[in-house]
């Protein structure tokens, strides 16, 4: 426990920050700047962010190594980090006592003065958030981008910002009540985080809360779960689809002059071949960004110029190298089954076949959907990680499966299995924490292993 407890004014409600890390540190910083006394509790003995907290905020009390009921008993408000489930018994008990439970996005929503774009979904959030941010900046708007990627939302607050573009996770939405986005989108819904939700329905319902209070709603016409959130259509609703767009409220694709074009209704905007991002899933991401940019009234030329120059983010279907006619792609950010399927289907048609490297922590996922897509698109699968056996069982005899002890071995096996004209795709469909510090570390290890292969 921290040695230097804050001096708490009797009139101040006692705020307990549950979970440190990047978000908890951001909340502590924000509240201390406003002279709100806080105590921080974390179930980990040495949580990330602790050295920074002790350096920045000498005197803040920190309780580590468990959730002590006595600490929760005196709290009048809980600010819960997204990494901590609100189903934790101590949080549930506090909530039943009438203690307010909120998160960093709720604190942000209560203070923000400029328009906010809120983006969630199972896959593509970071790409779309970053892409729209680039579009807005290219259009000359002072734009802050962050939330679940980059800087936490509270660290972005500044009077100079004209626009905030936030990626939000379902965990952040659980503790957000007052956010009224200028534009909101749920990009897609596929099974994820089922270790924290009661089935995909509970997960989908949490995502849908983003649309409450939104001025302009953007929907994915190709996703039935997202379209079910639409309810009564509202004036100003916009849509995106990988089909032909029916009217000017819909951004889609159309075959024209022998090429696939991105369109708004009848208006052709840009040949798909000019996009720098590979795959059908990134075509959908581009259309989603265009729809949101249109909702913000960003000039179309600036948006299209950005699309032609945007190369995507690391660890998201990122081209690494070509060796003996085989192209290597790093999609380590695919931490769920839906993301892996999107990558496989996105690459289909651009290569002869694929060798897939997958595996890790399953998060209680169902891999049966993956088997059908693998059968159609993949030559062989190399599995790593704790739950490799679960994936192998789900794949059955769809394709040959090889197990590897680590990333280096997986890359060596994949190289032996791939043929000229193929690609090798790291798209794990799993979380990374069984073997790596995070998806970035996993992707970096893959890149290093490929580079060793080429040396």
Size (the chain), residues: 455
Pairing between strand 250-256 and 238-240? parallel
Q: Shortest CA distance to 238 belongs to which of 275, 183, 165?
A: 183
- Write out 276-339 in H/E/C secondary structure: CCCCHHHHHHHHHHHHHHHHCCCCHHHHHHHHHHCCCCCCCCEEEEEECCEEEEECCCCCCHHH
Q: Is 160 in contact with 71 (CB distance < 8 Å)?
A: no
Given 123, 141, 148, 220, the catalytic residue: 148
Q: Shortest CA distance to 192 belongs to which of 170, 225, 167, 166?
A: 170
Q: Shortest CA distance to 39 belongs to which of 23, 63, 58, 21?
A: 63
The three-state secondary structure class of 448 is helix
Q: Is 300 in contact with 335 (CB distance < 8 Å)?
A: no
Given 193, 207, 225, 363, the catalytic residue: 193
C-alpha to C-alpha distance for 421 and 297, rounded to whole angstroms: 42
Q: Please say if 193 is a catalytic residue.
A: yes
The gap between the terminal CA atoms of the chain, to the nearest Å, is 50
C-alpha to C-alpha distance for 78 and 100, rounded to whole angstroms: 6
C-alpha to C-alpha distance for 357 and 359, rounded to whole angstroms: 7
Angle CA 301–303–309, to nearest 5: 105
Q: Is 117 in contact with 166 (CB distance < 8 Å)?
A: yes
In order of 181, 212, 226, 228, the CA distances from 231 in angstroms are 18, 11, 10, 6
User: Which residues are known catalytic residues?
Assistant: 125, 148, 193
């Amino acid at each position: 426990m921290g040695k230097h407890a804050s001096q708490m004014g009797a009139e101040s409600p006692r705020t307990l920050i549950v979970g440190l890390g990047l978000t908890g540190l951001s909340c502590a910083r924000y509240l201390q700047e406003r002279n709100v006394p806080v105590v921080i509790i974390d179930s980990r003995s040495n949580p990330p962010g602790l050295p920074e907290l002790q350096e920045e905020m000498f005197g803040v009390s920190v309780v580590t190594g468990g959730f002590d009921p006595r600490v929760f008993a005196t709290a009048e408000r809980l600010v819960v980090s997204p990494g901590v489930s609100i189903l934790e018994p101590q949080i549930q008990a506090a909530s039943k006592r009438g203690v307010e439970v909120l998160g960093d996005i709720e604190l942000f929503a209560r203070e923000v003065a400029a328009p906010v774009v809120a983006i969630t979904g199972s896959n593509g959030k970071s790409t779309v958030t970053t892409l729209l941010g680039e579009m807005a900046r290219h259009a000359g708007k002072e734009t802050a981008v962050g939330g679940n990627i980059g800087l936490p939302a509270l660290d972005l607050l500044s009077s100079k910002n004209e626009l905030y573009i936030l990626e939000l996770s379902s965990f952040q939405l659980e503790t957000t009540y007052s956010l009224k986005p200028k534009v909101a989108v749920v990009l897609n819904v596929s099974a994820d985080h089922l270790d924290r939700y009661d089935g995909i329905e509970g997960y989908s319902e949490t995502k849908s809360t983003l649309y409450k209070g939104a001025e302009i709603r953007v929907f994915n016409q190709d996703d039935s779960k997202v379209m079910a959130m639409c309810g009564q259509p509202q004036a100003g609703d916009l849509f995106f689809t990988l089909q032909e767009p029916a009217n000017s409220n819909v951004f889609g694709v159309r075959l024209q002059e022998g090429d696939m074009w991105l369109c708004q209704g009848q208006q052709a905007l840009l040949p798909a071949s000019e996009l720098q991002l590979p795959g059908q899933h990134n075509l959908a991401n581009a259309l989603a960004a265009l729809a949101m940019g249109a909702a913000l009234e960003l000039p179309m030329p600036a948006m299209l110029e950005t699309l032609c120059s945007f190369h995507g983010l690391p660890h998201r279907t990122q081209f690494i190298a070509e060796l003996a006619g085989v192209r290597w792609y790093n999609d380590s950010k695919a931490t769920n089954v839906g993301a892996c399927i999107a990558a496989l289907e996105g690459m289909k048609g651009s290569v002869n076949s694929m060798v897939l490297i997958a595996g890790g922590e399953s998060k209680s996922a169902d891999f049966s959907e993956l088997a059908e897509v693998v059968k159609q698109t993949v030559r062989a699968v190399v599995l790593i990680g704790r739950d490799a056996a679960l994936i192998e069982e789900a794949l059955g005899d769809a394709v040959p499966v090889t197990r590897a002890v680590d990333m280096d071995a997986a890359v060596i096996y994949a190289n032996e299995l791939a043929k000229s004209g193929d690609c090798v795709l790291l798209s794990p469909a799993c979380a990374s924490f069984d073997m790596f510090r995070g998806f970035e570390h996993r992707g970096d290890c893959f890149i290093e292993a490929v580079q060793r292969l080429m040396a």
